[in-house]
Chains A and B, each alone.
Chain A
Amino acid sequence: MQAWRDLQPFDGRLAMTWRIALLCALVTGVAMAYHIPEAAISCYLVIFLMKPDAVMNCLLGVGLIGLASFVVLLMIPVINLSIDSPAIRLAIMFFASYVFLFLSSTTPLGEQAAIVGLIIAFIMTLVTDVPVGQIGDQGLLAAWKMACMPMALMVLFNLLLGTPSHTHVRNRIVDRLRAAADALETPENHDRLDELLAEGNDASLQQMLLVKLLHLVPKAQASWLNGAVETSYRIALTAQAPSDTISPQRRAALAGRLRDAAERIAARARPEAPTAELPAESRAERTILEALGKLSQADGGGNPKPVPVPPLVADAFSSPKHQRYALKTSIAAVLCYLIYTAIDWDGIHTALITCYVAALGTTGETVRKLTLRIVGCLVGAAMGVAALLFVMPHLTSVGGLMALVFTAVFIAAWVSSGNERISYAGVQIALAFLLTTLNGFGPSFEFSQAGDRILGILLGIFVIYVLFTQFWPTSIVSDIRVRLGKVVDALGSLAERTPDARMADVTASADVLKTLEETTNLLSMAYFEPRRHRVSNDQLRRLQAIRQDLLGLYSEIRFRSQMPAQVSTKLARLAEELANEQPAIAPAVSHA
């Protein structure tokens, strides 16, 4: 079963899980000791933002503290202006979330911007509760503490106990070499290699950019790691060569060499240059031996740079999808706010928070995430109620509460540190659990509050579902088509190069493999779209087949020195098919 497979341990999962759980326990302790309200949201920020890479976490934490402080300062005059008028407050809430959600959709800020939008909206709702100037300021301070305390702890925690970027990059290089060795020995067993290849190089190169900028390791080591990222990727790519291109005994010898190199790199040393006892038999073998030679050089075999991230996506203003996304989410948030103030039931204010974290670009994505959310929410609520019933009565201190939070977040973080297919369920388990158990500043026994919080989450989920499926539903299929079209173009230009250049290429291949992997993911999401927006299963199967064809073509283009003549005609035919199906799809999406 898919879900069970997604729960299996993998390298680094336990490391990530205990760190998140321990940090959440610390955040809870600090929030309880210093009476910082909404400890659940503070913990939630940690679970949501913490990544395996300590350097990224530190920068993210510092960035968010800066951003939150700036916003809170900005809010002081805004609150003074709007303190008397609920209508102005509502308008500010709406516009602020619109702007920040738009930024989260179009700039590399991403989720950070959405969180700032959430903070602003949250402050505006607090002002409603306490319409006295001085208490308004205190609410502002509380919101600032709520966001900055967990971030400050996250920075400190990661400085002391985190795994730095360069260790991650080194592990990645070792992983690639080992997976390549495995794939060479047993050509039919290459799942791990495919997985590593689909990640591409950009993430590791970005990490190395930071390592170099902050001078986290000596210069010589940094430049070797940076070069080795690309060289190890080339080795991994070449290890995919079809089984008939390298003879079996050669494969075993190559695999042995790769393992030796991996051992040395894992021990923080440079591998030795391979001594050429025998001339290489095939081009694939020669490429791997050359790359191994490059790994033994001081620069690791090159000086690759990550593809720069533009400050604004290309279609930020030309495509309406970003604005629609921001608009839909803002409307959902304001709607939730209006609903719970209109029926005067403040206990379900978690609906507003849910809107910001549950919204996603396309319908399939949103619906799948909502399914995960509902499941996670119910699991978390069940855990929370069980804790209230059986554990809370025995707790007398904050320390016991911290232990409880550690245990529950450990379970949730185990799920959330998994892949994208299940990670949102983990985040939601944690949120539902924390919201039900962390009320006030110590162990609590409030059942009615727990129920309210869960109802709030479900209300938020429901509102988001209605808005995202009824207004401008964005089908994922057009996105898939665009991506497959890009792969066809990339393969076309790859096919025009000389055989040796094709074999040595890294950038284009990484792009192709990464995009094809994303397409599989997107295709699996297409089945979550409501039936009347979804394209027919035949068309989805056809897209799947096109994807498979492209993967086969890629292998042909890369590894054959004499490309079969039908490759280019086949590419042209696929390009035509992708372009032609466009009009057949459009009405199915727009008439909804």
Chain B
Amino acid sequence: MASSLVSSTMSMAPSVPLFGSFFPSWLISLFAAVIFTVVLRGVFVVTGFDDILRWRVPMYMSMALALTYLISLLFFGR
């Protein structure tokens, strides 16, 4: 029991203490990326860029995913 606990701690993803708990960094990156994507979509809508896009759902999802990796790389270094 104890050994399994230790090994699971060792293999855990890098986490950040928030609100008295530990959040995995990928989750924070994903969350920030989704918010970023929503803001960017607002900009696209206002500029009219959104109207000429095709396949918008996959496009915005890929954008959110790409931003997740970017944030993870820039702020958490992995």
Chain A positions near chain B (C-beta within 8 angstroms): 159-160, 215, 218-219
B57/A215 in contact, CB under 8 A: no
A219/B57 in contact, CB under 8 A: no
Determine the distance from Cα of A159 to Cα of B65 in the docked complex, in whole angstroms: 15
A159/B61 in contact, CB under 8 A: yes
Q: Across the interface, name the chain A residue whose C-beta is closest to B58.
A: A160
Q: Across the interface, name the chain B residue whose C-beta is closest to A215.
A: B45
B51/A160 in contact, CB under 8 A: no
Query: With A218-B51, A219-B51 in contact, do A160 and B45 touch (Cβ < 8 Å)?
Result: no
Assuming A215-B50, A219-B51, what are 6 further A-B pairs, CB within 8 angstroms? A159-B57, A159-B61, A160-B57, A160-B61, A215-B45, A218-B51
Main secondary structure of the interface of A (DSSP, over half): helix
Determine the distance from Cα of A390 to Cα of B45 in the docked complex, in whole angstroms: 55
Determine the distance from Cα of A276 to Cα of B45 in the docked complex, in whole angstroms: 40
Determine the distance from Cα of A218 to Cα of B56 in the docked complex, in whole angstroms: 12
Residues of B within 8 A of A159 (CB): 57, 61
Q: Nearest-CB distance from A247 to chain B (Å)?
A: 45
Determine the distance from Cα of A219 to Cα of B45 in the docked complex, in whole angstroms: 10
Interface size class of B (residues with CB under 8 A): under 10
Determine the distance from Cα of A218 to Cα of B61 in the docked complex, in whole angstroms: 19
Q: Nearest-CB distance from B33 to chain A (Å)?
A: 15
Determine the distance from Cα of A82 to Cα of B17 in the docked complex, in whole angstroms: 29
Determine the distance from Cα of A338 to Cα of B57 in the docked complex, in whole angstroms: 49
Residues of A within 8 A of B50 (CB): 215
Determine the distance from Cα of A497 to Cα of B65 in the docked complex, in whole angstroms: 59
- Chain B stretch 27-64: residues in CB contact (< 8 A) with chain A: 45, 50-51, 57, 61
Most buried by B among A159, A160, A215: A215
Residues of B within 8 A of A219 (CB): 51
Can you spell out 8 A-B residue pairs with CB atoms less than 8 angstroms apart?
A: A159-B57, A159-B61, A160-B57, A160-B61, A215-B45, A215-B50, A218-B51, A219-B51
Determine the distance from Cα of A160 to Cα of B61 in the docked complex, in whole angstroms: 10
Residues of A within 8 A of B45 (CB): 215
Determine the distance from Cα of A350 to Cα of B50 in the docked complex, in whole angstroms: 48
Determine the distance from Cα of A160 to Cα of B59 in the docked complex, in whole angstroms: 11
Determine the distance from Cα of A515 to Cα of B57 in the docked complex, in whole angstroms: 38
Most buried by A among B45, B57, B61: B57
Residues of B within 8 A of A215 (CB): 45, 50
Residues of B within 8 A of A160 (CB): 57, 61
Closest 3 CB pairs of A and B: A218-B51, A215-B45, A159-B57
Q: Across the interface, name the chain B residue whose C-beta is closest to A162.
A: B57
Determine the distance from Cα of A394 to Cα of B45 in the docked complex, in whole angstroms: 53
